[in-house]
Structure 1
Amino acid sequence: MASLSGPSSGSSTVTQISVLSEDLQMGERKRRSRVRKKKHLDELTAQVTQLRNENRQIITRVNIIVQHYLNVEAENSVLRAQAKELSRGLQCSEEMISFLNGEENMFKASSVQHLGLLGFNYRINNI
């Protein structure tokens, strides 16, 4: 029986060593997997931090641009109102000039008539 137990205990030892070796390899694979996962998690965490910083910078720039836009829009509104006032003023001035030109023409016509009455018909007609 000793011969039966000898080989079986030898193969049992080999089997135990093989199982232990597989367990060690499995443990090492699990450890490497955890290290890879942790590294990936750290990279993702760093990327999230970087993206949050970029988002804050973009939001700050957008807020500045929006404020600038609102300022320009307000200034444009003021300029439009001023342009409208100037346009009205110009129209009034043109009407006044037209009226005054009409009065001047009327004055010239009445002056010519008065001069004719005074005996200057020849001179005025020949001018």
Structure 2
Amino acid sequence: MKPLLLFCLLLGACKSQEVLPDNCYKGRLSLKGICNNYVIELIGGTIDLSKVETTWENPSTGKKYTNAFALSNPCALPVSLKEGDEFFFKLDSTQLTEVCITCKAYSPTPKKALPISICP
């Protein structure tokens, strides 16, 4: 009976580990501010922590975010994503050349920003 219990525990542990697509991270659109001022939190994968704010507090609300960054190429994010949605992305500086229309209204975001593209 003990080997069966051990097997079930190990099987359950394997199911709980999410496999990320190659070269991708898992993120959450945590704040969808005015004029494409987006805040994303890294929730899966390992990234150089110097590229993100390990803790960022929104000065407007006092809410704290972990491993957060602003999106430096807001037009790369699908408009269908809603606040709280999780998605897979990769760092992609080629997306910085994409031209799109954004307004200049201010909405607080972390000082650190990253360009991304959505993983298939």
TM-score scaled by length of structure 2:
0.24
More strand by share: 2
Larger radius of gyration: 1
The structure carrying a bigger helix percent of its residues is 1
Higher RCO (Cα < 8 Å, 6 or more apart): 2
